[in-house]
Amino acid sequence: MSHKRVFITGAAGFIGFHLAQRMLKDGWEVMGFDGLTPYYDPKLKQARLSILQAQERFLFEEGMLEDEGVLTRLIAEFRPDVIVHLAAQAGVRYSIDAPRSYVTSNLIGTHEILEAARACPPKHLMMASTSSVYGANTEMPYGETDRAVHPKSFYAATKIANEAMAHSYAHLFAIPTTMFRFFTVYGPWGRPDMAPFKFTKAILNGEAIDVYNHGDMQRDFTYVEDLVEGILRLSATIPGTEPVGPMDSLSPVAPFRTVNIGNGSPVQLGAFIEAIEAATGRTAERNLMPMQPGDVHATWADARLIEALVGALPRTDIRDGVKSFVDWYRGWNDR
């Protein structure tokens, strides 16, 4: 039996690792690509990668997205049914200090993926965007048809650009494309620059945690396995010509849509910290801080479109998801 093939960029990253694991389990052949950059501890990336490399049907190439022609060659050789482009320079705050890395990874790197898809078109090109594209919007929940034109960080600006770039290729070269907008993904094997990791580490070490905007923040925290389920179901949902309803973001001139993948219910930052306190059995010492540049006050995904496309996704309760993360973190820290 021939297996379906998927090419995943950022396969040693947090989301890419979980997606590759799930697709291998479901019988796909997976080719992973990752630059293993030192933005955060590469030991974490190597550990994820070694788990994947122990499995059959997993191939891996290390390389940089922005190196001209590399992705085109690999994709032409592997001939994937689906391409999932997750690799990016992530992080809102880092984009203030190191904007050029976002230009090379997110703009030039994404252009290389689009060129590879143009040369060897997959049945479905899927690419990561972010809830940060909603920027200064205040209407909640965020719907895919809302305007996304006021980014509050350079990271978000590069993701808006990615959506526009991908739309143009979808239109010009009829490449069926889905961009997914992620909402605050967390879970085991998560990134050290994100709140769950930072907070858990500090609380277990008896250190104070920095709580921005004095804790008056809301995030639509999305458990990584729920997100992966969404990506997997969407991989078989190729944009056509018929919208599924008035909330559909389907382009009038291209097989292209944007889709939110979120939990659909915002959680107060304080409640999230309480979930970590419950999972660790420790009380956090809170260092209350002002809002940080580039940050947004709240995020909340309108889930109507994804539910119309693929049905209701699992929604892991914040307490259960945080406990899974803390259990993993303790094991990782004891290595």
Active site residues per annotation: 155
My answer on whether omega of the bond before 252 falls inside 30° of 0, hence cis, is: no
What secondary structure letter does DSSP report for 301? B
Residues 6+ apart with CB under 8 A from 136: 150, 152, 296
Residue 115's identity, in one-letter code, is: E
DSSP type of residue 313? P
Alpha helices in the chain (DSSP H): 14-25, 42-53, 70-78, 94-97, 99-102, 109-119, 154-173, 195-204, 224-235, 269-280, 304-310, 318-333
Biggest CA–CA distance in the chain, Å, is 57
- Separation of CA 288 from chain center: 28
51 to 120, 141, 144, 191: CA distances (angstroms): 29, 37, 35, 17
- Say how far apart CA 325 and CA 329 lie, in whole Å: 6
- Neighbouring CB atoms inside 10 A of 192's CB total 13
CA distance 18 to 7: 14
Q: What residue has token string 């250190």? A: 207
Give residue for tokens 């909330």. Answer: 247
